[in-house]
C-alpha cells in the first residue's frame, strides 16, 4: 500500500513531469504535426489500438485474478510516458516524433483512457469494487492537463526556462520510478517473493510485446526503420507513474496493494527492458548511418 504522504508526493511529481512535457512543446510543433500527421497517427493507433488490446488479451490468456487484470488493463490503457523521450534520444531515434507522440497521446487520453478502460473492463468481466470509475480517471487527466499548459506558456515566455523545466520533467520521470522502487518494494518484498512467474511475465511482456507490435505495425504502414523504432519505444513505454497515481486515488488497503502490483512491476522492468532495446536500436541506427555514408562516398567516387 502507498501511504498518504507518498500519494501526495507522487501527485506533485506528476505535475512537474507534465509541466516538463508541456515545456517541450510549442503551438508550432502541433501545426507541423498536423501538416504531416502520418507518423503521429500511426503512433496513436499503436498506443490506443495495440496496447489496450494486448493488455486485455494477456489478462485473459494468463487467467489473471480480477485485481491483477485491472492493474494490467489500466497499465495498457495509459498514454505514453516522458521516459520514452529519453530512450528515443539515446537510441538515436526521431526525438521530435517521440515528443509529439507523448504529447498527443496524453491529450487524447482525456477521452480514450476512460473509454478504453470501461470497454475492456466490461469485456474482462471486471465489476463491483475492482472497477475503476471512468470519472476518476478523467478527473486525474484533466488536473494534469493544467501543468502541461503552464509548461507550454513558460516555454513561450522564456525558452531558457522552458528548456530547464523540460529537462527536469524528463529525468523526474525516471526518478519517480526509482521512488516507487525504493519506497514500495522494500515494504512488499514478501509479496514479490511469492508472486508467480505469470505475473512477472505479464508485467514485463506488456512493454516488450508492445514495442515489437508497435514496430511491426509501423513498418507495415510504411514508416521508415528509424521512425518505426521511435514509435516502438513510444508504444511500449507507458506512463507507469500515472497508473500508480490513479490506483492510489481509487483504492485503499489490501485491494490497492494487489492492483498496484503489475503497474509497479511494469514501471521497474520497463526501464531495464527499454535500456536493452535502446542498445539494439542504437547499433542498428549506427549501422544504417555507416551504410549511408559508404553509399555517398561511392557516389562521389563514381562521379
CATH code, domain carrying 100: 1.20.1530.20
More confident residue, 229 or 98: 229
Instruction: Give CA torsion, residues 114, 115, 118, 122, to 10 deg.
Output: -170
Q: Is residue 43 part of a domain?
A: yes
- Choose among 173, 163, 153: nearest CA to 80: 173
Backbone dihedral angles phi then psi of residue 91, each to the nearest 5 degrees: -85, 0
Residue 268: give the domain boundaries. Answer: 4-289
Q: Are 258 and 30 in contact (CB under 8 A)?
A: no
Q: Is residue 27 part of a domain?
A: yes
Q: Is residue 301 part of a domain?
A: no
Q: Is residue 156 part of a domain?
A: yes
Q: Is residue 51 over pLDDT 70?
A: yes
Residues 6+ apart with CB under 8 A from 259: 67, 68, 70, 71, 74, 130, 247, 251
Residues 6+ apart with CB under 8 A from 214: 46, 50, 228, 231, 232, 233, 234, 235, 236
212-249 pLDDT, tens digit each: 999 999 999 999 999 999 999 999 999 888 888 888 88
Burial class (CB within 10 angstroms; exposed 0-12, middle 13-18, buried 19+) of 144: buried
Q: Is 63 left (phi over 0), alpha (psi -120 to 50) or beta?
A: left
Q: Is residue 303 over pLDDT 60?
A: no
Q: Is residue 300 part of a domain?
A: no
Return the pLDDT at 297.
67
- Choose among 197, 227, 220: nearest CA to 50: 220
Q: What is the DSSP annotation of 16-36?
A: HHHHHHHHT--HHHHHHHHHS
Global confidence as pTM: 0.86
Q: 37-51, 78-92, 158-172, 179-193: lowest mean pLDDT where?
A: 158-172
Q: Is residue 182 part of a domain?
A: yes
Q: Is residue 299 part of a domain?
A: no
CB atoms within 10 A of CB 238: 30
Using a CB cutoff of 8 Å and minimum separation of 24, what contacts does 247-256 make? 247/71, 247/74, 247/132, 248/2, 248/6, 248/7, 248/10, 249/7, 249/136, 249/140, 250/132, 250/133, 250/136, 252/1, 253/1, 254/1, 255/67, 255/129, 255/130, 256/1, 256/2
Q: Is residue 302 part of a domain?
A: no
What grid cell was written down for 157? 515566455
Q: Is residue 301 over pLDDT 70?
A: no
User: Per the structure, how many domains does the chain have?
Assistant: 1
Amino acid at each position: 500500500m502507498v501511504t498518504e504522504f507518498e500519494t501526495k508526493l507522487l501527485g506533485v511529481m506528476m505535475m512537474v513531469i507534465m509541466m516538463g512535457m508541456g515545456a517541450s512543446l510549442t503551438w508550432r510543433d502541433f501545426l507541423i504535426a498536423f501538416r504531416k500527421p502520418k507518423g503521429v497517427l500511426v503512433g496513436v493507433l499503436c498506443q490506443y489500438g495495440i496496447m489496450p488490446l494486448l493488455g486485455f488479451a494477456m489478462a485473459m490468456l494468463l487467467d489473471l485474478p480480477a485485481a491483477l487484470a485491472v492493474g494490467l488493463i489500466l497499465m495498457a490503457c495509459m498514454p505514453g510516458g516522458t521516459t520514452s523521450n529519453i530512450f528515443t534520444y539515446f537510441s538515436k531515434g526521431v526525438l521530435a516524433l517521440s515528443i509529439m507522440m507523448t504529447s498527443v497521446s496524453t491529450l487524447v487520453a482525456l477521452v480514450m483512457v476512460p473509454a478504453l478502460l470501461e470497454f475492456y473492463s466490461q469485456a474482462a468481466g471486471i465489476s463491483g469494487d475492482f472497477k475503476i470509475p471512468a470519472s476518476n480517471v478523467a478527473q486525474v487527466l484533466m488536473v494534469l492537463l493544467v501543468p502541461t499548459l503552464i509548461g507550454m506558456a513558460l516555454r513561450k515566455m522564456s525558452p531558457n526556462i522552458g528548456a530547464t523545466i523540460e529537462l527536469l520533467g524528463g529525468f523526474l520521470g525516471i526518478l519517480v520510478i526509482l521512488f516507487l522502487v525504493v519506497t514500495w518494494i522494500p515494504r512488499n518484498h514478501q509479496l514479490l517473493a511469492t508472486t508467480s512467474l505469470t505475473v512477472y511475465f505479464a508485467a514485463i511482456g506488456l512493454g516488450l510485446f508492445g514495442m515489437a507490435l508497435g514496430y511491426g505495425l509501423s513498418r507495415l504502414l510504411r514508416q521508415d526503420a528509424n521512425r518505426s523504432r521511435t514509435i516502438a519505444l513510444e508504444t511500449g513505454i507507458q506512463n507507469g507513474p500515472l497508473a500508480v497515481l490513479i490506483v492510489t486515488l481509487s483504492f485503499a488497503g489490501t485491494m490497492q496493494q494487489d492492483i498496484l502490483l503489475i503497474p509497479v512491476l511494469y514501471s521497474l522492468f520497463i526501464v531495464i527492458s527499454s535500456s536493452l532495446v535502446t542498445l539494439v536500436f542504437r547499433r542498428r541506427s549506427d549501422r544504417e548511418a555507416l551504410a549511408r555514408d559508404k553509399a555517398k562516398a561511392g557516389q562521389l567516387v563514381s562521379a
